[in-house]
Structure 1
Amino acid sequence: MNSLDWAVLIGYFGVMVAIGVWSHKRVEDVSDFFTAGGRMPWWLSGISHHMSGYSAVMFTGYAGISYQYGITSYVTWSFPIAIGIAIGAQLFAGRLNRLRSRLHVASPLEYLKSRYNLPTQQALAWSGVLLKIVDVGAKWAAIATLLSVFTGMSLNQGILITGVITGIYCTVGGLWADALTELGQFVIQLLAGVAMLVTVLGELGGFSSLWTVWDRLPAGHTEPTVGPYTLTFLLAYLFIKTFEYSGGMWNQAQRYMATRDARQAKRSARLSAALWFVWPAVLFFPMWVAPLLVRAERPDASDAYALLTERLLPHGLLGLVVVGFFSHTMAMCSSDANAISAVFTRDIAPALPRIGERARRWSHKAGLLAARLSTVAFLALSMAIATQVNSPTFKDIITVVIKWVAGLVGPISIPFLLGMLRSCRKSGPTAALVSWAAGLFAFWLTNYGMSGLQLQIQIVSPVATSLVLYLVIGLLKPEDTPERDAVLARINSGDDGDGEGGAAALPVPGQGAAGDEGGVPRSV
């Protein structure tokens, strides 16, 4: 990178901070900070949902898969995500919106105390927070890896720079800042991705390379499933990503909660699904043909895309593509930070022994301050984890993303998402806690307790275990009560366009958070 590239990068950081400062004016309470007050347009919610779904891991870990195996990176990654989001648009998007518009909650997990009980809510909250610290740590490490290729910065320096910039705008502006910066990041990534595609096509002989280059690639590059990424892996990934990207990892749930009503939430989900069908293929093409243009130096080929960019793009465009790397990572990390802050301030803090009583009585101003402080704390912890992500504990970036996140999302998301469905009303606290605990044990057993298992078995066993136990225990030990049925009725009833999804003032933690009647108005 030269001075022109640095100017582009610094200018990008400046715009992100400016958006955060501008968004600060729209944030008056926790409702605005966590769910945009229910006023976010569906198209902005959809773009934000899409952008918050992937990071620079695509340009490192998945670039390595593309370099080594070819188009299976799309077939077994973004394609099942698109299908999963489309399924979630019908099953979960509208119901997630009603959590805010009908139950008046600011955190996705606030309803769990009424749906199950306090221990269930706390188990899911704590385990999810710990998982996301590791997950976001992997994202910081991914972008720092790319930054080191272009600038020579150390891993820790790259983590510090990206983490501090992200912390400024997402802490000041909340979900509004996240969504608006993600819109800007989408435009930047659109320009950067198209620039990279055109440059690679020019290097390969022109536009006709789109259909003539395939027989020049290494053997197996055009196979939809190859190597460890088999048909079974594809089906397992589809199963997992349907839960993860439909709200199971919370930050996507916030996008649906932020729209005006359930119908708007479904429209935003469909837009995100369409983007997942199309846009990753544009980004992946240069990675698929990279073996014809560069030789990866790392064993996992995670540096392939960075080397390709460094070789082909002129200064200025190089800076724009590096900005594109940052845009994805910062979008995902900031959205995760906001979601975790919501869960901590609305669900965990009110249940803590010493500060719980005070947390349940926070004023709007005090609650907003707690939200911002917890956002900073989460980012700091994830940055600390990022410095260890290449240690023997985590092995490499793609291991964290595929195994840890895919393997652990099921036990956390199954009770959360299926708990909203009327068909699962008999599954109560016992089903939720047993399925959660057994899923975590299945993750440990298949990843660390047993050796030689296939990747698809490792990632699908936890979520499959949780799903089966959640449903079976619900049948064998039904725990539906009139109070729980009333909660489900409010989540499931009514026309999606009935106008009940408009913005509503949220209670402070003392009036509907985890510490009292479970985040549901007493009229329920």
Structure 2
Amino acid sequence: MHSADWIVLSAYLAATVGIGVLLGRKVKSTADLFAAGGASPWWASGLSAFMTMFSANTFVVWGGMAYEHGIVAIMVNLCYGIAALLAGYTVAGKWKRLGIRTPAEFVERRFGKGALHFYTWSMMIYRMVGAAGALYAIATLTVAVTRGSDTAVSVGGMPPELVTAILIFAAVVVLYTMIGGLWAVLMTDVIQFIVLNVAVIFVVALILLDIGGLGGFIAQAPEGFLSLTSGRYTWFFLFGWVAIHYFMIGAEFAFVQRYLCVPTARDARRGTVLFGLMYLFSPFLWLLPPLLWRVQSPIPEGATDDMIRVLKEEAYIKSCRHVLPIGMVGLMMAAMFSATASLISSQLNVFSGVLTHDIYRPLRNQITDRSLLLAGRLFTLLLGAVIAGIALCIPMLGGAERVIISITELMVVPLLAPILIGLLSRKVNVGALWLTAGICIPLGLMLHFRLIVPPQDSAIGQWLFDQSKTFVGVVLPMVIVLVAHLRARGVDHRWRRIEALQAAETEAEATRTGRADAAPARIVGWSMVVLGAGMTCLIPLNPGQRSIILLFALLVAAIGLAMLGGARYLQSRNAS
């Protein structure tokens, strides 16, 4: 990268930490640290949930799929939008009406302490490994851009640049999450959303100019590249992917936290619907660069599997480097870091909240909220160190990303279906949870490690085996939980504790104004104005692309001014 790109990336990282420090002034209690005091604007909650789905693996995995298979990558990502809309209309408001501080509190009240520990530790391990994989991916992309070559290395040969990148990126995320809490997570997510999408818009526009527009792309696209399904990504897989992510968005702790941080149940629904609507069109935008790059840099005839893998992994960043002016590559790397930071900060905040309120607090007879706040920040620091440590060991794990994708397909619904059904059904008890986990997770692990092998001489048997992960990971747990609901007699005794919470929250919500804090919109607005003004400094370095950079700077500044206008309106409405 050019020195200007490094300056842009470094300034972005410093500004991110600065926003965390600024928002740290709003954090006076654990309610502020882990739930933004219940005063987050609904749009911030929705955009933050949208960004939580992103990481550097989004560009490597889904970008690679788009480069190799085509439009099917967009179809897979549209499933997130459908799942979010379903969650918004069915469960987002219900979570807010519970009046809980953390999602783990619901698990304990609904299913008991055994279930609380099972979910806390199993989901924490799964999500920490996923966050570490994302941290390793963004560090690898950064070093790849720096070196201009592949950085796949063995454990003994990990370059010091990669170690440094992992530690710096981890430190930035931990600092702003530890100081600013959920407020910092939400606000940086909104800024990251704007930067990412504006940067991608410019990449797409420049690539389309380079290949002669969409017509040129369609004419040059490989055979089958525009098909809606491909290979193992069948309509049955897409159905399963919607179901998996309905349960993930509807019940995973990081997303439930977004439903709890807004003033009212209506705000929780609106934020989740915004998340879903954004995912119904945004994949068409941010997956276009690798799709178009396939036309610019086709897969050579006779390419080996290793060559194809490298081409896939590098497709996104190479498409950006090919067209972006000096300084804008640094901004694109900042956008990719932003996506990864969103995922990591969300997991840090939600699990430090669970450890503080639901694991540590019951161990202390008397403890002040100030002491809890300190404990929450220390847990954030500890979990950040764990993520960085795992990221440094990723080469030793040998392709952890592939394992994470497979485990997601096999374990999300068995873990989360009982929680979600337990929210909707008064009859389901803890037995359904243990039965679902006890049957589906061992079967899924047997399939993953190929302890169950497909029949060698049966086409139907082979097809059934190919679909078995979706069946075991999606259909079977849903069937088990629904059967448990139908066979249950009467209301589960633990549901009474949930009813008491709901009654208290309904009474409290009736006295609230439902007005969100106007400060977040001001912070985002000024950040965008400063970013737009700063981008004009790149004009002298790119004499042939002055108009493009100026247009980018004006667009970002205009978004900032619009946010500032919205903040003034919100402040005046709150004052009236």
User: How far 1:293 moved relative to its partner?
Assistant: 1.8
User: How far 1:470 moved relative to its partner?
Assistant: 2.2
Gaps of 5+ in 2: 148-158, 300-306, 455-461, 515-576
1:148-167 correspondence to structure 2 within 5 Å: 148-152=143-147, 154-167=161-174
Report whether the alignment pairs 1:29 with 2:29: yes
User: How far 1:107 moved relative to its partner?
Assistant: 1.3
Contact 1:116 1:484 in 2 (8 A): no
Contact 1:115 1:484 in 2 (8 A): yes
SS in 2 for 1:315: coil
Higher relative contact order (CA closer than 8 Å, sequence separation 6+): 1
Contact 2:197 2:286 in 1 (8 A): no
Return closer, same or farther for 1:496/1:55 CA change in 2, 3 Å cut-off.
farther
- Tell me the distance in 1 between the aligned counterparts of 2:273 and 2:110: 28
SS in 2 for 1:499: helix
Report whether the alignment pairs 1:82 with 2:107: no
> Which one of the candidate residues 333, 350, 355 is aligned to 1:322?
333
Question: Mean alpha-carbon deviation: is it higher for 8-17 or for 476-485?
Answer: 476-485
Which one-letter code corresponds to 2:25 in the other structure?
Answer: K
Contact 2:42 2:262 in 1 (8 A): yes
1:126-167 deviation line (CA, Å, top 9, x unaligned): 111111111111211221221121123743332212111111
User: How far 1:312 moved relative to its partner?
Assistant: 2.1
Return closer, same or farther for 1:159/1:44 CA change in 2, 3 Å cut-off.
same
Contact 1:236 1:456 in 2 (8 A): no
Q: Which residue of 1 aligns with 2:73?
A: 73
Percentage identity across aligned positions? 27
User: How far 1:339 moved relative to its partner?
Assistant: 0.9
- Tell me the distance in 2 between the aligned counterparts of 1:107 and 1:502: 22
Contact 1:95 1:491 in 2 (8 A): no
1:22-421 correspondence to structure 2 within 5 Å: 22-76=22-76, 78-99=77-98, 102=99, 105-152=100-147, 154-205=161-212, 209-246=213-250, 248-294=251-297, 297=307, 299=309, 301-350=312-361, 356-358=362-364, 361-391=366-396, 393=397, 395-397=399-401, 399-421=402-424
Q: Which residue of 2 aligns with 1:510?
A: none
- Tell me the distance in 1 between the aligned counterparts of 2:231 and 2:17: 43
User: How far 1:442 moved relative to its partner?
Assistant: 2.5
- Tell me the distance in 1 between the aligned counterparts of 2:437 and 2:390: 24
User: How far 1:478 moved relative to its partner?
Assistant: 4.2
SS in 2 for 1:260: coil
Q: How many residues in Structure 1 have an aligned counterpart in Structure 2? A: 485
Cα RMSD (Å): 2.5
- Higher helix proportion, which one? 2
- Tell me the distance in 1 between the aligned counterparts of 2:287 and 2:483: 41
Normalising by structure 1, report the TM-score. Answer: 0.87
1:316-363 deviation line (CA, Å, top 9, x unaligned): 11111111111111011101110111122222334xxxxx532x5331
Normalising by structure 2, report the TM-score. Answer: 0.79
Return closer, same or farther for 1:257/1:362 CA change in 2, 3 Å cut-off.
same
Contact 1:261 1:499 in 2 (8 A): no
Larger radius of gyration: 2
Question: Mean alpha-carbon deviation: is it higher for 40-49 or for 494-503?
Answer: 494-503
Q: Which residue of 2 aligns with 1:520?
A: none
1:51-103 deviation line (CA, Å, top 9, x unaligned): 11211112111111011000111101x2110000000011110011123xx3x
Contact 1:9 1:319 in 2 (8 A): yes
Return closer, same or farther for 1:220/1:465 CA change in 2, 3 Å cut-off.
same
Return closer, same or farther for 1:496/1:3 CA change in 2, 3 Å cut-off.
farther
Question: Mean alpha-carbon deviation: is it higher for 482-491 or for 228-237?
Answer: 482-491
- Tell me the distance in 2 between the aligned counterparts of 1:434 and 1:126: 18
Return closer, same or farther for 1:169/1:66 CA change in 2, 3 Å cut-off.
same
